[in-house]
Amino acid sequence: MQKLGFHIGNGNSYARERIESDIQDIAFTPSRQILVHKYWKTIFIVVFVLSKVFLATSIYFFLEYKHAQEKLTEVRK
């Protein structure tokens, strides 16, 4: 990470070190919220894809059932 170039008035080195340390803590601390967000995003994508697969298979079997019913009625006539 690049050092941020900023100037603190009156040459207060303690304040500068404190701010730099806070910036580094924020930049390098892994966030649990980000990890949870990534997991939920993956879970959502998997559930979405699976729902589309199940929808397609249910439509396919419904159409096959209707086609079989039509053939059965034709055979009976």
Query: Which DSSP string do the residues of 1-69 spell out, in sequence order?
Result: -PPP----GGG-HHHHHHHHHHHHHHHHSPPHHHHHHHHHHHHHHHHHHHHHHHHHHHHHHHHHHHHHH
Distance CA 73, CA 76 (A): 5
Contact in structure between 19 and 8 (CB atoms under 8 Å): yes
Q: Which of 3-7, 24-28, 47-51 has the lowest mean pLDDT?
A: 3-7
Is the pLDDT higher at 45 or at 19? 45
pLDDT at 51: 98
pLDDT at 15: 73
